[in-house]
Amino acid sequence: MTIRLIIVDDHPVVRDGLRGMLANDPAFEVVGEAGDGAEAVDLVESLRPDVVLMDLRMPGVGGVEAIRTLVARESPARVLVLTTYDSDTDVVPALEAGATGYLLKDTPRAELVRAIHAAARGDAVLAPSVAARLVSQLRSGHDSLSDRELEVLTLVAQGETNRGVAGRLYISEATVKTHLLHIYAKLEVSDRAAAVAAAYERGLLVPRRG
């Protein structure tokens, strides 16, 4: 199925560049563009895209506020942050607001395409420098996971989707994504399969018998 996209950035040249980069790929359809967060929220509600490529620092309503609004309104669209900034003050609020992933604007095209596909599936995606920052934020000299993170990872290892994990633990799907991003950072991996493999390797998860 074609992945429907909205591009949100206050610089028209950036929007044009992204649209041009994705236009020739039949897997994608850019259905709209917005220059700020408020316009983005309106477009998402009217056009119902699968994935939103969201800049963070924009005049008026910024990306983080827009993400919070979309999550509060239970929008099914996945938000993939695409920005120039990877400071703690940008990364952590965006992920805590409910972003599915966080990439930088110098991300190669092939990596961006892979990330959009992953975001459309609901999988978290992090730029390497962002993952490194999360590691420094979240690790306390070791890679131990919290009890809740272990619960989430155990269910993921059992094959549950993000929605399934949310239902089993009575938490929101956005909260599941945040836990997964923290898990990826602590285990220094980039996706759920690698996280499960690393957890088994380190003895954080024990294979079920029978």
CATH number of the domain within which 185 lies = 1.10.10.10
60 and 66 Cβ atoms separated by less than 8 Å: no
- pTM of the predicted structure, to 2 decimals: 0.68
User: What does the pLDDT read at residue 141?
Assistant: 45
The last residue of one of the domains, among 135, 159, 193, is 135
Whether residue 207 lies inside any domain: the answer is no
Q: Assign residue 122 a region: left if phi > 0, alpha if psi is -120 to 50, beta otherwise?
A: left
Structure tokens at 151: 């619960």
Q: Are residues 106 and 29 in the same domain?
A: yes
Range of lowest pLDDT (12-26, 137-151, 186-200): 137-151
User: What does the pLDDT read at residue 93?
Assistant: 86
How confident is the model over 172-177, as a mean pLDDT?
88
Residue whose token pair is 């549950």: 160
Which is more confidently placed, 43 or 135? 43
Which is more confidently placed, 144 or 161? 161
Q: Are residues 33 and 74 in the same domain?
A: yes
The whole domain housing 91 covers 3-135
User: What does the pLDDT read at residue 143?
Assistant: 56
Q: Are residues 10 and 110 in the same domain?
A: yes
Number of structural domains found in the chain: 2
Q: What is the pLDDT of residues 74-119, one digit of tens each?
A: 899 999 999 998 877 788 888 888 898 999 999 999 999 999 999 9
Burial 60-82 (b: 16+ CB within 10 A, else e): ebbbbbbbbbbbeeebebbbbbb
Q: Are residues 150 and 67 in the same domain?
A: no
Whether residue 209 lies inside any domain: the answer is no
User: What does the pLDDT read at residue 206?
Assistant: 75
Q: What is the pLDDT of residues 119-160, one digit of tens each?
A: 998 888 888 778 776 766 655 444 578 888 999 999 999 999
Q: Are residues 96 and 146 in the same domain?
A: no
DSSP 11-57: -HHHHHHHHHHHHT-TTEEEEEEESSHHHHHHHHHHH--SEEEE-S-
The last residue of one of the domains, among 135, 157, 181, is 135
Side chain identity at residue 115, one-letter code = A
The last residue of one of the domains, among 105, 135, 165, is 135
